[in-house]
Each structure stands twice: as structure tokens, then as C-alpha cells.
Amino acid sequence: MPAIWSGPGTVVAGGQDSKVIRVHLRGYVTDFAMNDKCAAGTLRFLEVMGEALEVGVEELGSPSQQSRHSVAIFSTCTVFAESEVIAQMSRGAPKADIVAGIHTTIARQVAGLAGQVGLEEAMIMTGGVAKNIGVVRVVEEQIGLPILLPPEPQPVGALRAALLPMEKAAHR
């Protein structure tokens, strides 16, 4: 998924991968880190966790904000994390606490990537996961910076990729 933004730092958590991109103010990429573990931290990861919890992915954003005690989900592998979620459910853990643990797992992944490329004072999150306010809030806590969100975060990378050739042609 192309992910170029004309801001200093971009977190992209999409359907199939997560990446953090450092972008120069002029719009070119200066550094880049991508997860190396299958669908860890992606929208697909959230979909599978939602299925295990019998909750739609669009409903996974706010429950974690009612959590009293986040349940640790250690694995970033979707299959193993799903097993952990099922085990927590069988132990009677509240769904809100399990969702909070899922959000923390994703946030750790994203924060680790951000640490590899360096944090900027302005971080922008795009991709489908950016629509999950629970994940966004935990990422903000983990990196210690506010995250800016476009009104529609999913198509940002594709839109920017489509605009880039036009901008280059205009500067010729």
C-alpha cells in the first residue's frame, strides 16, 4: 500500500501490514520501518480478534476505554493472539479488558516501528486501524505524542500516491 504523506511522520496501519514512515516536509521518504510479522497490528489482525470476541471490527474501538484492567495479549501473531483471546474469554475476562489488551499489543508494535525511524512532533496515522480510536489512544500513550487523524484515514495512501505524479508533472 503506498503511504506517502507530506508531513514529518506517518504511521500507516493498514489491512495487511503496518509501517512507520518518516517523510521530509517536501514530501519524500527519509526513513521507513515495516512490521515483519505477517498481519501483526493490522486491520486483518483486528478483524480476527473481533471474530473471536464475536464483535464486529467497527465495534472494537470504544470498549477498551471502559476497561478497568487490560488483559495482556503477548503474541503479535494473529493465530496465537486469537488463541490468547479465546483463553481469556474462557477464564471470564471482560471483553473490554481483552480489547484493551489487543489495542496495547498493536500499539507496542507501532511504537516499536516508530522508535526505529524516530519520532516527530507531528505524527499522522492512516489506514484502516486509524479508524479504531482505542488503538489510536494507546499508540499516543506509548509514543508520548498526539496523533493527527485525517477525516477518512483509509484511502490516504492511495490518494497521495495518485496525486504524487501530478505534483511531479507540475514541477517539470
Fold annotation for 9-170? Nucleotidyltransferase; domain 5 (3.30.420)
Please report the pLDDT score of residue 9 as a whole number.
Answer: 59
Task: Give 71's Cβ-side CA count (13 Å radius).
Answer: 22
Which residues have CB under 8 Å from 47's CB, separation 6+? 57
Q: Which pLDDT value is given to residue 171? A: 76
At 126 the pLDDT is 85
Q: What would the pLDDT profile of 114-172 be if each residue is shown by its tens digit?
A: 888 888 777 888 888 888 889 999 999 998 988 888 888 887 777 777 777 877 788 77
Does the pLDDT value for residue 60 go beyond 80?
yes
Give the residue-averaged pLDDT of 86-110: 92
The rounded distance, in Å, linking the Cα atoms of 57 and 47 is 5
Is the pLDDT reported for residue 41 higher than 90? no
Q: Which pLDDT band holds residue 25 (cuts at 50, 70, 90)?
A: confident
Q: Yes or no: say if 22 and 31 are a contact pair by the CB < 8 Å rule.
A: yes
Q: How far apart (Å, rounded) are the C-alpha atoms in residues 58 and 146? A: 22
4 pLDDT exceeds 50?
no
DSSP E strands: which ranges in the chain? 9-13, 18-23, 29-34, 123-126, 147-148
Extract the C-alpha cell encoding 81.
493472539
For the chain, the domains span 9-170
The predicted structure's pLDDT at residue 98: 94
Q: Torsion-angle region of residue 55: left (phi > 0), alpha (psi -120 to 50) or beta?
A: beta
